[in-house]
Amino acid sequence: MGFLIHKLRKPLVKVRRQFKESNIDFESDLMEAIDAAIESVRHHRLELETYVKLRPSFATALEPVTVDPVSPLIVQKMADAASKAGVGPMAAVAGALADLAVDAMRNTGSRVSIVENGGEVSAISEEPFIVGLYAGKNSLGRGLGFRIKPSDCPIGVATSSATVSRAFSFGEADAATIFADNATVADAAATAVCNSVVGDDVEESLRRGLEAAKNMSFVRGAIVVRGDHVGSVGWIPALVRVDS
């Protein structure tokens, strides 16, 4: 799973809130934006929970599902991303909540809008910041991060792991990190790529994962880690050294 390490020229308002099983970090130059983001998460979580009570198969589907166009916005976003990546819609829930929270922040006029939800990052920022990579006990990504520039935004960064995350995975990657235009599609794509990294031949499994990422036109770039092997495809932000 990913995590944020910020290096910004100006101090930010930083708030962490727990929503049931989720810890979500909000960062902005405006407290008003933080408040709007928190309310967004509450609202869209409630809408999703209500929807799932009526349609429980939405929460258990491991493949894309079709939803009614009058479904809640978060449901539509999750279903659309899942369809693009070929996975179940719940694979995109963390990224969708983060994107919707960033939308709410931007509506307040914030210059820096960053939300990290369980390692999935959504951001529109006029200041550069750093996203680190966490792959559990695997030491390959330790001490390294990706520098995100304002020109890279809006951006979504998501990581799926078969060895770290509590989320269900068919794959064997220590980390499959995706860079995309938003966190919803990045989240779904990360799951799909991680699911592709399977088999005793580690190098071949990484090749399959990277090929899966390459075949998704909405993916800007991907980096996959398994054991002592790492591979990448497409656009990857500049690597920088960060403090542990």
CB 92 within 8 A of CB 78: yes
| Burial group, residue 68, by CB count within 10 angstroms (0-12, 13-18, 19+) | exposed
In the chain, what are the domains?
2-241 (3.10.520.10)
Predicted TM-score (pTM) of the model is: 0.91
Calculate mean pLDDT across residues 189-211: 95
Going 102 to 103 to 106 to 107, the CA torsion angle's sign is negative
Mean pLDDT of 13-41: 94
Q: Does residue 81 register a pLDDT over 90?
A: yes
- DSSP-assigned states of every residue in 53-81: HH-THHHH-SS-----TTS-HHHHHHHHH
Percent of the chain at pLDDT exceeding 90: 77
Residue 73's pLDDT band (cuts 50, 70, 90): very high
